[in-house]
Amino acid sequence: MATLADVARHAGVSTATASRIINGSPKPVADALRTRVLAAVAELKYVPNAHAQMLARSHRSAVGVIVHDVSDPYFAEITRGLQRVATADGRLVIICNSFREPDRELEYIDLLHAHQVAAIVIAGSGYLDPATAARLDDRLRAFEATGGRIAVIGRHEHTGDAVLPDNEQGGYLAGSHLLELGHTEIAVLTGPTPLTTTFDRLKGLQRAARKFGARIPAARIHAADFTRDGGEAVAAQLLAEHPSVTAIAALNDSMAVGTLAALRATPDRRVAVIGFDDMPIARDVTPALTSVRLPLTELGERAMTLALGTAGDAPRVERVKVELIVRQSTWPR
Amino acid sequence: MATLADVARHAGVSTATASRIINGSPKPVADALRTRVLAAVAELKYVPNAHAQMLARSHRSAVGVIVHDVSDPYFAEITRGLQRVATADGRLVIICNSFREPDRELEYIDLLHAHQVAAIVIAGSGYLDPATAARLDDRLRAFEATGGRIAVIGRHEHTGDAVLPDNEQGGYLAGSHLLELGHTEIAVLTGPTPLTTTFDRLKGLQRAARKFGARIPAARIHAADFTRDGGEAVAAQLLAEHPSVTAIAALNDSMAVGTLAALRATPDRRVAVIGFDDMPIARDVTPALTSVRLPLTELGERAMTLALGTAGDAPRVERVKVELIVRQSTWPR
DNA sequence: ACGGTCTAGGAAAGCGCTTACCTAGGGGTT
DNA sequence: AACCCCTAGGTAAGCGCTTTCCTAGACCGT
Q: What is the pLDDT of residues B149-170, one digit of tens each?
A: 999 999 887 778 999 999 999 9
What whole-number distance in Å separates Cα of residue B272 and Cα of residue A12?
A: 68
CATH architecture of A4-56: Orthogonal Bundle (1.10)
> Residue B102 above 80 pLDDT?
yes
**What is the pLDDT, as a whole number, of residue A311?**
73
- Per-residue confidence at A1, pLDDT binned at 50, 70, 90? confident
Closest-CA residue to A66 (of A38, A30, A103, A33): A103
Burial of B12 (0-12, 13-18, 19+ CB in 10 A): exposed
On whether the CB atoms of residues A236 and A209 are closer than 8 A, the answer is: no
Cis peptide before B217 (omega within 30 of 0): no
Please give the distance of CA A1 from its chain centroid, rounded to a whole number.
38
Phi-psi region of B185 (alpha: psi -120 to 50; beta: other; left: phi over 0): beta
Give the phi and the psi of residue A223 in degrees, each rounded to 5: -90, 130
**What is the pLDDT, as a whole number, of residue B58?**
83
Distance A28 CA to D30 C1' (A): 30
Closest-CA residue to B132 (of B94, B101, B87, B177): B101
Amino acid type, B282: A
Mean pLDDT of A261-281: 96
How is domain A167-295 classified at the CATH fold level?
Rossmann fold (3.40.50)
- Nucleotides on chain C that have an atom closer than 7 A to a protein CB are 7-12, 14-20
> Residue B312 above 80 pLDDT?
no
Q: pLDDT tens digit string along B294-303?
A: 999 999 999 9
Q: pLDDT tens digit string along B7-47?
A: 999 999 999 999 999 998 888 889 999 999 999 999 999 99
In chain A, positions 110-149, which contact chain B (CB-CB < 8 Å)?
110-111, 113-116, 142-143, 145-147
Domains A63-165+297-320 and A167-295 share a fold: yes
**What is the pLDDT, as a whole number, of residue A158?**
79
> Residue A40 above 80 pLDDT?
yes
Mean pLDDT of B56-75: 90
**What is the pLDDT, as a whole number, of residue B284?**
95
What whole-number distance in Å separates Cα of residue B22 and Cα of residue B7?
A: 10
> Residue A312 above 80 pLDDT?
no
Q: Where are the domains of chain B?
A: 4-56, 63-165+297-320, 167-294
**What is the pLDDT, as a whole number, of residue A71?**
83
Distance B17 CA to D5 C1' (A): 23
Direct distance between the N- and C-terminal alpha carbons of chain B, in angstroms, rounded to an integer: 71
- Per-residue confidence at A200, pLDDT binned at 50, 70, 90? very high
How is domain B63-165+297-320 classified at the CATH fold level?
Rossmann fold (3.40.50)
| CB pair distance less than 8 Å for A55 and B55 | yes
What whole-number distance in Å separates Cα of residue B232 and Cα of residue B116?
A: 42
Q: CA separation (Å) from B37 to A105, A111, A141, B18?
A: 25, 20, 22, 6
How is domain B167-294 classified at the CATH fold level?
Rossmann fold (3.40.50)
> Residue B59 above 90 pLDDT?
no
Q: pLDDT tens digit string along A92-125?
A: 899 999 988 999 999 999 999 999 999 999 998 8
* Partners of residue A44 in chain B, C-beta under 8 Å: none
**What is the pLDDT, as a whole number, of residue B39?**
95
Q: pLDDT tens digit string along B165-214?
A: 999 999 999 999 999 999 999 999 999 998 999 999 999 999 999 999 99
Q: Look at residue A127 and give its three-state secondary structure.
A: strand
| CB pair distance less than 8 Å for A114 and B83 | no
Q: pLDDT tens digit string along A134-178?
A: 999 999 999 999 989 999 999 887 778 999 999 999 999 999 999
**What is the pLDDT, as a whole number, of residue B251?**
97
Average pLDDT, chain A: 93
Q: pLDDT tens digit string along B242-277?
A: 999 999 999 999 999 999 999 999 999 999 999 999
> Residue B309 above 90 pLDDT?
no
Distance B80 CA to D20 C1' (A): 47
* Partners of residue A83 in chain B, C-beta under 8 Å: 97
What whole-number distance in Å separates Cα of residue B302 and Cα of residue B155?
A: 15
- Per-residue confidence at B61, pLDDT binned at 50, 70, 90? confident
> Residue A313 above 80 pLDDT?
no
| CB pair distance less than 8 Å for A55 and B47 | no
- Chain B residue with the nearest C-alpha to that of A108: B92
Mean pLDDT of B106-119: 94
What whole-number distance in Å separates Cα of residue B142 and Cα of residue B135?
A: 11
**What is the pLDDT, as a whole number, of residue B188?**
97
- Per-residue confidence at B126, pLDDT binned at 50, 70, 90? confident
> Residue A298 above 80 pLDDT?
yes
**What is the pLDDT, as a whole number, of residue B305?**
95
- Per-residue confidence at A61, pLDDT binned at 50, 70, 90? confident
Average pLDDT, chain B: 93
